[in-house]
Amino acid sequence: MSGALQTGSYILKSVPAGSHTISVFSNENQDSITITTEANQNYFYDVKSRMGMVSARFTIEQIAEADAKDAVLRNKRVKGM
């Protein structure tokens, strides 16, 4: 586990090259994607939310580096990650 996201926050995580799973959980659903990373590359993902029956449902989507850099400037990094 890397941390808990809130609206307006992000997690920065360094990982070795290879296969990794990114997951997000809510009261109503879980979404996971498996990615393969390469050394010295940056990858950016956004957690999207939409209303479910009782609470938010989340999905994970890869985003472009330019969009990610803009998002990082507007949001706060989750500390201790």
| Amino acid identity at 25 | F
Complete DSSP assignment for 3-26: ----TTEE------SEEEEEEEE-
What pLDDT does residue 32 have?
Answer: 93
What does the pLDDT look like over 8-65, one tens digit per residue? 899 999 999 999 999 998 777 889 999 999 999 999 999 988 877 777 788 999 999 9
What is the pTM (predicted TM-score) of this model? 0.79
Instruction: Show me where the domains of the chain are located.
Output: 9-77
What pLDDT does residue 44 have?
Answer: 95
